[in-house]
Amino acid sequence: MAVIDGKALAETIKLEIREEVLLLKEQRKNIPHLAAVLIGNNPASESYVKSKVRSCEHVGFESTLIRKDDSITEQELLDIVKDLNEEEDIDGFIVQLPLPKHIDEQKVTLAIDPKKDVDGFHPVNFGRMAQGLPCYLPATPFGILTMLERYKVETEGKHCVVLGRSNIVGSPMSILLSRKAYPGNCTVTLVHSRTKDLSAEIKRADIVIAAIGIPHFVTADMVKEGAVIIDVGINRVEDDSRRRGYRLVGDVEYDAVSSKASLITPVPGGVGPMTVTSLLLNTLSASKKEIYS
């Protein structure tokens, strides 16, 4: 068994981005600028956004954090989105999800200009992705594709099982891995909470992408010997032995599954850091107007 070190790979890619930013600075070109909107104080969201802003600084991007509390109205948030759409200095922005219950996430996502939608959540980007047109790929699937590519994982003709059908991970991942491309050309099965005999489906997989959001859902008896396991889960479980009172675990029972897998991503230090790197790559692409003029 070998481990896919997402943390190390993300650092390598950030160094590559940093070099490119230095070059842009030398040439007095536009420095990529990412804005993040954070509503309320969901601890996980705070931590993700902090990591995104810190990573921007690390690679030499400009960043703007807009924080508002839970009492913000939907219209006030839509006004912020409109301003960011129009602000020329900002190349791309994200509105961190989930949003408070009184705000319609879909309405907010639809209000983002697809040109600045570096999360790749807008239906225009999703549709372009589905048709293989240039677009911003959603960060987590993009990070997973990069991991498969850099670790030279063979994907053609492989049977890939994606667990979970979210708009952010499962659904786009299933489309991307079935594309006529590398990584891709997989035979993909997407399984979810209503799937009958989920274990039997997972057992047939050469590649498992676990994005179901349930701690340790995938156990060793469910996976085939030699499978490649990509664990997207970032679940907080209580742990009094830790100073912060919790630890992070994936959707996969790592210790037992790793003894059967040929390659596996750990949690933390696997998919998570790659998600942030992908957002940086999308922002760089936005600043260079590579996809939309």
CA distance linking residue 208 with residue 238, whole number of Å:
26
Asked if residues 30 and 24 have their Cβ atoms less than 8 Å apart, the reply is yes
- Residue (266 or 272) nearer to ligand GUN, CB: 272
96 assigned to active site: yes
Q: Is 23 exposed, middle or buried (0-12, 13-18, 19+ CB in 10 A)?
A: exposed
CB of 45 to ligand GUN, least distance (A): 7
CB of 54 to ligand GUN, least distance (A): 16
The closest residue (CB) to ligand GUN is 97
CB of 109 to ligand GUN, least distance (A): 9
52 assigned to active site: yes
- Residue (94 or 198) nearer to ligand GUN, CB: 94
- Residue (174 or 258) nearer to ligand GUN, CB: 174
- Residue (112 or 161) nearer to ligand GUN, CB: 112
Active-site residue among 115, 116, 117, 119?
119
* Burial state string for 212-246 with b = 16 or more CB within 10 A and e = fewer than 16: beebbbbeeebbbeebbbbbbbbbeeeeeeeeeee
> Which residues make beta-bridge pairs with 188?
160
113 assigned to active site: no
Q: Which residue has the tokens 């997407």?
A: 190
CB of 264 to ligand GUN, least distance (A): 22
Q: If we measure between CA atoms, which residue out of 5, 15, 84, 88 comes closest to residue 55? A: 15
| Interface residue list for ligand GUN (CB under 6 A) | 94-97, 119, 139, 168, 275
Give catalytic residue positions: 52, 96, 119
